Amino acid sequence: MKIVAATRNNGKIKELQAILSDLDIEIVSQAEAGIDIEVEETGDTFEKNALIKAKSVSMLCDDPVIADDSGLCVEALGGAPGVYSARYAGENASDEEKNNKILAELGETKNRKAKFVCVTALVFPDGYEVTATGETYGSITYEPHGEKGFGYDPIFYSDDLKKTFADADDNEKNKVSHRARALQALYEKLKTITDK
Ligand code: IMP
């Protein structure tokens, strides 16, 4: 089965290929499928946004389409930045500015619990939809640490890895990340479907 990935992010495509490699599935990027659209994420949940992205690309091709939406949720900030993670400090803000905004908002707050959430959606040409969620838990540091990764990685101290995601290499992060867990959950659901 061929699946089109509704993303321009090559890192996400590599992760998809690695995790779904033992299923009989070929992942093709949106660009390789000749689809050049930028989808606006207008939903107020990760699931809605993942489905918006998958359905928008699905309307333009005849193959199943996979998409995901993810973000950071900080308990003491009422779950913010959540679905607004990408643009939390404004449209053109750098990762550093976004991280500093969260650190400033938390100040010396003792409750620094946080999680990354990812919802993956797979939409078939007949309209059938499957979604799966993955979460990974940790806390917000008092200052950024580490040079690897992207986004909020330098301020997210992972409970699993006992270091920030920005101090972890790709291999380590991919074992415990919200995205890997969402894909694993989707994989389990797909296995049940393809086994039937
Ligand atoms: P999207 O899922 O591509 O819309 O990404 C949402 C935003 O959440 C990204 O721009 C990052 O700011 C943040 N984010 C999602 N996953 C991660 C991660 O694994 N590390 C750091 N930041 C992330």
Tell me the per-residue pLDDT of 55-72, one tens digit each, with 9 for 90 and over: 999 999 999 999 999 999
- pLDDT digit string, tens, across residues 77-105: 999 999 999 999 998 999 999 999 999 99
**Which strands make up the sheet holding 113-123, listed edge to edge?**
26-29, 2-5, 65-74, 113-123, 129-140, 156-158, 163-164
Interval 107-126 mean pLDDT: 97
Q: Compute the radius of gyration of the chain from its Cα atoms.
A: 17
Confidence (pLDDT) at 1:
83
**Ligand 1 atom nearest to CA at 98:** 12
Q: Which of 68, 69, 153, 167 is catalytic?
A: 69
Interval 26-32 mean pLDDT: 92
Counting ligand 1 atoms within 8 A of each CB, the residue from 40, 87, 152 with the most, and so the one to mutate, is 152
The residue behind tokens 């359905």 is 55
pTM (2 decimals)?
0.93
Is 69 a catalytic site residue?
Answer: yes
CA of 79 to the centre of ligand 1 (A): 15
CA of 195 to the centre of ligand 1 (A): 33
CA of 100 to the centre of ligand 1 (A): 16
Q: Could you tell me the two tokens for 157?
A: 């101290």
Q: Do 85 and 72 meet the contact criterion of CB atoms below 8 Å apart?
A: yes
